[in-house]
Amino acid sequence: MKRILSIGFVIGMLMPVAVTGQDNGMARGQWKTQCGTPTGQERFPVGSYVELPQHEKPSEAQWQEVEGTRVSWGSTDVRYSRTSVPMSKTCRLQGISGWRGEKVYAQAVVWTKDGLERLRYEVSDFKGPGGARIPGESFETGFVRYVMTDQLNKDGRGACGQRPDHTVYDSTMVADCIDHCLEETSLEKMGVQAIWLSCRIPRDAAPGTYRGRLTVKDGERTVGSLELNIRADSHVLPEPSQWHFHLDLWQNPFAAARYYQVPLWSQEHLDVMRPMMERLARSGQKVITASIMHKPWNGQTHDWFESMVTWIRKVDGSWAFCFDVFDRWVEFMMSCGIDREINCYSMVPWALSFQYFDQASDSMKAIRTSPGETEYEDMWTSMLDAFSRHLKEKGWFDICTIAMDERPMEVMQKTIAVIKKADPEFRISLAGNYHPEIEDQLYDYCITINENFPDEVLERRRQEGRISTLYTCCAEPYPNTFTFSPLAEATWIGLYMAAKNVDGYLRWAYNSWPLEPLLDSRFRTWAGGDTYLVYPGNRTSMRLEKLTEGIQAYEKIRILMEEYTRDGRTKKAGELEKALSSLDIRDLAHEPAWKGVQSVMTLIR
């Protein structure tokens, strides 16, 4: 009976988070984004949708010299304006290169003075040496869509803090979403449309150059054709699951349930999440994000995190726990290919309030207690003892950590003592400032990107099999992955992780969507795009693709440095080390990130 009660309680407690009051009785066309911008369409589109209106109008003087429609290859580091002439000269032939197994990218640009009614495109077969081909399933393409964004805080030092009045910040429409669902679109007069192509070169492809073509049409009429050469190097990049790079982008299943309007933890819920979680795995993700108590971050996201563990205080005052939802989530994520680590948040939530079901009163209650207090220790010792036994039964104990983020060192010391009392073998992770006093007690330690692990500490941690990474959040103006951040900064991050000799990178939000993420990336407390990197409908973003590019570069650097050391190629190793050592965050204040990226990338093609 207790088991049935606890499972029913979980389902009732963890229903999809309610949408804000804008949902109440609003007719089509009255629905608004979180920042109050009318959408003119039904809420939560998944298939087709209409972008918000462009505020910026084209300059007729700028378009005067353009005749008809033009098509050219562009740069994957550029977000092309919807209304400005993108370039003065066209490029008809593009050459890109990569290792076999690597994902490579290209961006084409279409601009027209007269407008196009049915803009679409076709990608030909890619033929290589000896009749070899790159199959169509190796490609992913999409029209680049536009989303509303804002800007850094007025002092330019970051993007944290309440943003109750979005008129304070400049709002613009920027290119970011790559929409593989859209097969054709219209283009207004004096309009621009980009097309994104990615190709994961097959690992078994014969080395050499593969030639193909992108054809752009207006209905059945061809308006332009671009040649693309993809050179497959003899090197092979391992499968993403085998990458050494420790990627930790926090997942939010609660946002997916709300957006898709499906019951939380139902099969429908898992089905809608699977494509985007498999996409995350293909970017090298290693960590499952699990919430083991109510609101570990005090509801900082539009869809706050509920507990995946049911906490029950029985009539006699003792504690009982149900792990059914936790198990369902972990097993699902593992089936998506993410199975290296499970980070469980958080013993030290921001509000220090712990929700549970009280059997005596048949109601929800909460305990307010802090590390160092007897009630806190008794409660968490009971939970961790039950959790430890459950994890061992499931075979997950060795990959699970008790995780905290941005907690003071003194609080962490008290919390660690409780964890070790419950089970001294528990692994612990922390994302926050560097504290040498507790470093040796942390298995997975992630510090801010502007800090450094001492070299000897980093080497010792690696020898002990511990994880050491860096992270960015709203506090860093650069490098970052806001929807207005220069795209090359996302690639730069991966290279910087190699330069600092750390194991990888953490960012707190993979899919903590605002109310209407396909239309408006702004949020009430942080800059646009801070809360997500993937869009509904499993649409990737330019930012996620460029971040993946940097992660692949990290892997290539690791493999090449091992190769150079083994073969005694000290000159090659020295050139690469010099290029990496030149990467300095302070330079990004006055120098575009693509320059640093280019200096490294030319050495690892």
* Residue range 60-236 in CATH 1.10.10.10: no
Would you place residue 169 in the very low, low, confident or very high pLDDT band (cuts 50, 70, 90)? confident
Beta strands in 473-564 (DSSP E): 504-507, 540-541
Residue 19 reports pLDDT greater than 70:
no
Start-end ranges of CATH 2.60.40.10 in the chain?
60-236
Residue 225 reports pLDDT greater than 70:
yes
Residue 446 reports pLDDT greater than 50:
yes
Residue 43 reports pLDDT greater than 90:
yes
Determine the angle formed by the axes of helices 542-567 and 593-601, rounding to 10 degrees: 40
Predicted local confidence at residue 163, as pLDDT: 85
DSSP line for 335-354: HTT--SEEEEE-SS-SS-EE
Q: Which helix (H) or strand (E) holds 321?
A: strand 319-322
Residue 535 reports pLDDT greater than 90:
yes
Residue 447 reports pLDDT greater than 80:
yes
Residue 177 reports pLDDT greater than 90:
yes
Q: Nearest to residue 52, comparing CAs of 72, 69, 35? A: 35
Predicted local confidence at residue 27, as pLDDT: 54
Tell me, which fold does domain 240-601 have in CATH? TIM Barrel (3.20.20)
Average pLDDT over residues 413-433: 98
Predicted local confidence at residue 4, as pLDDT: 34
Start-end ranges of CATH 3.20.20 in the chain?
240-601
Residue 10 reports pLDDT greater than 70:
no
State the Cα–Cα distance between residues 294 and 306, nearest whole angstrom. 5
Average pLDDT over residues 588-598: 97
* pLDDT averaged over every residue in the chain: 94
Predicted local confidence at residue 605, as pLDDT: 85
Query: What percent of the chain stands above pLDDT 70?
Result: 95
Beta strands in 408-485 (DSSP E): 427-431, 444-448, 467-472
State the Cα–Cα distance between residues 298 and 82, nearest whole angstrom. 38
Residue 484 reports pLDDT greater than 50:
yes
Predicted local confidence at residue 14, as pLDDT: 41
Would you place residue 581 in the very low, low, confident or very high pLDDT band (cuts 50, 70, 90)? very high
Q: What is the pLDDT of residues 320-369, one digit of tens each?
A: 999 999 999 999 999 999 999 999 999 999 899 999 999 999 999 999 99
Looking up tokens 């407390």 gives 525
Would you place residue 60 in the very low, low, confident or very high pLDDT band (cuts 50, 70, 90)? very high
Q: What is the pLDDT of residues 280-298, one digit of tens each?
A: 999 999 999 999 999 999 8
Predicted local confidence at residue 302, as pLDDT: 96
* 173 vs 299, higher pLDDT: 173
pTM of the predicted model, to two decimals? 0.95
Predicted local confidence at residue 35, as pLDDT: 87
State the Cα–Cα distance between residues 298 and 371, nearest whole angstrom. 17
Is the alpha carbon torsion for 280, 286, 292, 296 positive or negative? Answer: negative
Predicted local confidence at residue 29, as pLDDT: 57
Pairing, β 246-249 against β 221-236: unpaired
